[in-house]
């Protein structure tokens, strides 16, 4: 389990090797494979409107994958209601599946969370989550796909 200090270290110093093969496509290839909204969020670091998905209120067992490459990212057992309008998780399934980067956009400092396998923008991670990790992975629902 990572803590905030380790997340910050990875964001600044670098991330470990992804848990599986890299998936790399051109922007044109991603655009052809993804819906316009999914492309905007995952490939252009967009953000969906808060409360735009019913995923925030769903707490069924299961695994959440990257919507772009199907890498397993989050287990539903770590999902919680943060009240923010985006699905929130307290930790990734595999510590190397999520990559971190300092995000200085919009006049603030945040830590971006992305898929370590295909670089899809997922959302951001914050140090205000529940114990024991105290992390809140605030993830765009459109960046995720729940495994069947």
Q: How does pLDDT run across 64-94, given as a tens digit for each residue?
A: 999 999 999 999 999 999 999 999 999 999 9
Spatial separation of the C-alpha atoms in residues 134 and 48, rounded to whole Å? 24
Domain harbouring 132, CATH code: 2.170.150.20
Domain membership of residue 139 as a residue range: 4-146
Active site residues: 138
Q: What is the pLDDT of residue 48?
A: 95
* Tens-place pLDDT, residues 94-145: 999 999 999 888 888 899 999 999 999 999 999 999 999 999 999 999 999 9
Average pLDDT of the segment spanning 37-62? 94
Q: What is the pLDDT of residue 129?
A: 96
Contact in structure between 38 and 141 (CB atoms under 8 Å): no
Domain count, the chain: 1
Strand runs labelled E in the chain:
63-66, 72-75, 79-80, 88-89, 98-103, 110-115, 121-126, 136-139, 144-146
């Amino acid at each position: 389990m990572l803590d905030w200090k380790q997340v910050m270290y990875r964001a600044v110093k670098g991330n470990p090797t992804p848990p599986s093969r890299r998936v790399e496509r051109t922007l044109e290839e991603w655009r052809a494979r993804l819906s316009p909204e999914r492309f905007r969020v995952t490939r252009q670091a967009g953000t969906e409107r808060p409360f735009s998905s019913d995923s925030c209120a769903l707490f069924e067992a299961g695994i959440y994958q990257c919507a772009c490459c199907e890498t397993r990212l989050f287990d539903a057992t770590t999902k919680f209601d943060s009240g923010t309008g985006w699905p929130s998780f307290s930790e990734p399934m595999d510590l190397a599946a999520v990559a971190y980067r300092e995000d200085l956009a919009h006049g603030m400092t945040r830590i971006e969370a992305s898929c370590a396998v295909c670089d899809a923008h997922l959302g951001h991670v914050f140090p205000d989550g529940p114990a024991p990790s105290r992390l809140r992975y605030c993830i765009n629902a459109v960046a995720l796909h729940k495994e069947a």
